[in-house]
């Protein structure tokens, strides 16, 4: 079980920077470091943001952040071997009052109960070979983690038999969920957006989503329109498809028959 004391993480600047800012910066930096190992679509933009964040921290403080990230990563790898999908962030997020008023994380026991009830006693994988899970207000991702653990308990392989769309309007929640879903090896698209307003600001692809080529099998849309990021990811990771799209653009320079025009996409 979790023996990492993350409650000390926001104190690494000894009060020089606000605790909420430190916690938020740590989450965003960790998310960026994971994303930029696998996602060519957002690399430049996110690398620039990471550099801006790091300017506010001393070398010693940056090393302290890295130490926390490595401890979380190592503990998660241990958990995976034990069939456990533990949430590392929700208690810190809640107890440190980093959440907004009315923004509550589902207690671990409740999350596990909901996951077991949702999966059922004798779960059957759909004919397509995997389960689609949609979490419209994902928080730290604890309900998704509980579902993945429940699948493991039933001898199902969530690495290959589960794909997730997780959405939240709070960037801290988006980053918490992305970090944990990534490190636990869950194929997922984590969207910073507003489900009720059908607004999407950015999307984060977990490594397993990209490695497993899920953008082809299970693309997720928040608005019902195609995602330009998905199209860019396809082109960046599939040279044959990119060549076909380039040829299409050569013969159709004004985009009259473009399958993903500006009007059809949900983000630039």
Express each pLDDT in 48-63 by its tens digit. 999 999 999 999 999 9
Range with the lowest mean pLDDT among 93-97, 152-156, 198-202, 236-240? Answer: 93-97
Is 1 among the domain residues?
A: no
pLDDT above 60: residue 265: no
Q: So what's the pLDDT on residue 97?
A: 60
Express each pLDDT in 126-176 by its tens digit. 999 999 999 999 999 999 999 999 999 999 999 999 999 999 999 999 999
Range with the lowest mean pLDDT among 1-10, 207-216, 253-262? Answer: 253-262
Radius of gyration (Cα) for the chain, nearest Å? 19
What percentage of residues in the chain have a pLDDT greater than 70?
A: 87
Q: So what's the pLDDT on residue 2?
A: 54
Structural domains of the chain, count = 1
Structure confidence at residue 258 as a pLDDT band (50, 70, 90): low
Range with the lowest mean pLDDT among 51-55, 104-108, 123-127, 198-202? Answer: 104-108
Q: Which domain holds residue 205?
A: 6-264
Is 98 among the domain residues?
A: yes
128 or 249: which leads in pLDDT: 128
Helix 142-153, helix 171-183: angle, nearest 10: 20
Is 105 among the domain residues?
A: yes
Is 42 among the domain residues?
A: yes
Range with the lowest mean pLDDT among 21-30, 108-117, 257-266? Answer: 257-266
Is 174 among the domain residues?
A: yes
- Per-residue pLDDT, averaged over 191-207, amounts to 95
Structure confidence at residue 262 as a pLDDT band (50, 70, 90): very low
Residue-wise DSSP of 59-125 = HHHHHHHHHHHHHHHHHHHHHHHHT----SSHHHHHHTT-SPTT--PPPHHHHHHHHHHHH-SS---
Is 229 among the domain residues?
A: yes
Report the alpha-carbon distance of residue 72 to residue 1 in Å, rounded.
Answer: 11
The set of residues, in sequence order, having a beta carbon less than 8 Å from that of 109 and lying 6+ positions away, is none
- Per-residue pLDDT, averaged over 204-215, amounts to 98
Q: Determine if the pTM surpasses 0.95.
A: no
Express each pLDDT in 15-24 by its tens digit. 999 999 999 9
Structure confidence at residue 264 as a pLDDT band (50, 70, 90): very low
Is 64 among the domain residues?
A: yes
Report the alpha-carbon distance of residue 245 to residue 264 in Å, rounded.
Answer: 16
Structure confidence at residue 225 as a pLDDT band (50, 70, 90): confident
- Per-residue pLDDT, averaged over 117-131, amounts to 94
Tokens linked to 189: 């698209």
Q: So what's the pLDDT on residue 254?
A: 55
């Amino acid at each position: 079980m979790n023996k990492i004391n993350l409650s000390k993480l926001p104190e690494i600047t000894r009060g020089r920077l606000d605790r909420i800012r430190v916690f938020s910066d740590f989450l965003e930096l960790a998310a960026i470091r994971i994303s930029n190992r696998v996602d060519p679509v957002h690399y430049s933009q996110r690398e620039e943001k990471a550099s801006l964040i790091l300017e506010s921290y001393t070398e010693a403080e940056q090393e302290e952040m890295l130490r926390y990230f490595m401890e979380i990563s190592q503990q998660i790898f241990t958990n995976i071997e034990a069939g456990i999908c533990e949430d590392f962030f929700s208690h810190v997020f809640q107890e440190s009052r980093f959440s907004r008023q009315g923004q509550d994380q589902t207690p671990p026991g409740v999350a596990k109960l909901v996951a077991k009830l949702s999966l059922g006693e004798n779960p059957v994988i759909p004919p397509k070979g995997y389960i689609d899970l949609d979490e419209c207000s994902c928080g730290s991702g604890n309900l998704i983690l509980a579902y993945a653990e429940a699948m493991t308990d039933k001898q199902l392989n969530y690495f290959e038999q589960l794909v997730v769309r997780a959405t939240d309007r709070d960037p801290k929640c988006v980053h918490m969920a992305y970090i944990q879903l990534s490190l636990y090896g869950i194929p997922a698209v984590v969207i910073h957006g507003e489900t009720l307003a059908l607004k999407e600001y950015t999307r984060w692809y977990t490594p397993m989503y990209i490695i497993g080529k899920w953008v082809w099998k299970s693309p997720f849309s928040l608005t019902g329109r195609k995602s330009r990021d998905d199209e860019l990811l396809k082109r960046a990771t599939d040279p044959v498809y990119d060549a076909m799209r380039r040829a299409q653009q050569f013969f159709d320079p004004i985009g009259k028959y473009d399958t993903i025009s500006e009007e059809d996409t949900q983000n630039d």
